[in-house]
Structure 1
Amino acid sequence: MDTSTGLLPDGLDQRLADTVRAGALMSVTGPDAAVAETAVNGVLDAGLPVVRIRLDSAGASVAQPEFARLLAAELGLGRHGAAPWPVADVEERIEDELARRGVVLVVHGSERMLTEALYWLYRVWSRTAPGRRLTVVFTGSQGFDRVLARPALADLKSCIFIHHRLAA
């Protein structure tokens, strides 16, 4: 930290604050996923309503239904002792809950998300009202930059407010 300004030398804290104010999308990549996760966790304002999803425990790659299940569980939307909801119902409940809470969603290990999961999350973000827009912070290894280069994710990539790359 620069003691004269109180900012991290690379400006991650200010860029994250700008992203939250804008209700925008942000990607933070590092030489490995753990570096990016640690950096983002270190600068998140403790007063922010944050929902964190860690994909390193979800397997090699994460499809949209698995991501929706993880997010629903993190939001406390599970059904106790009953049959699981149909996927469409889960997605609708997630969208409603994220819009209601106005949270910062941090997805650690984003390079593990399959195109369908990333595009679904982009659609959820784009449907929230601009004044209450969900903030999404994708963290991961530099492999996430390659994931974003997929043609099917061009819309998502074009809407990312800030791409922050951490030095090794």
Structure 2
Amino acid sequence: MPGPTAVQSGAEPVQAGRAPADLPEQQERQRLDNQLCFAVYAAAHAFGRAYRNLLGRYELTYPQYLVLLVLWEQDGLSVKEIGNRLFLDSGTLTPLLKRLEASGRVRRARDRVDERQVSIFLTPAGAALRDVLACIPDEAGGLTGLDVEGRRNLLHDLVTLRMGLQAGLITE
């Protein structure tokens, strides 16, 4: 008759190729609080809540604000170009743009040559928000607890992280 299993005896099972001494280190690496992906995910949610508070008084959502940031840099971009800049698909972007249009901040126009293409233009009200919302980056940055140099370094590291992950996803 076989003896009790490792689980039944309270002993930790030893994985093939792993010495029992490696198990605490492996378990530590698998703790939720030690996951870089979770830290980035949780920080993104915290930013979302912070921006909801900052932008709510202007009746803007964070994704709408991002669209405005893109259009303030270059007006008249196609939906596809905006989506590429923001890493959003047209199914997510189109309803958001319709709400921005309904609020009078952008207008959508079909391309005369290719009617499948829709370009997005700021209205005077959307353009005027640039000056009104100029304080938002500093206000949001101030909520992080990081000084300006710390925020710059973090931005650099996050862009490097994103680019590395994207490069790792490219398949031939």
Could you tell me the TM-score, scaled by structure 2's length?
0.26
Which protein has the bigger strand share? Answer: 1
Where relative contact order (Cα < 8 A, 6+ residues apart) is larger, the structure is 1
Larger radius of gyration: 2
Which protein has the bigger helix share? Answer: 2
Could you tell me the TM-score, scaled by structure 1's length?
0.26
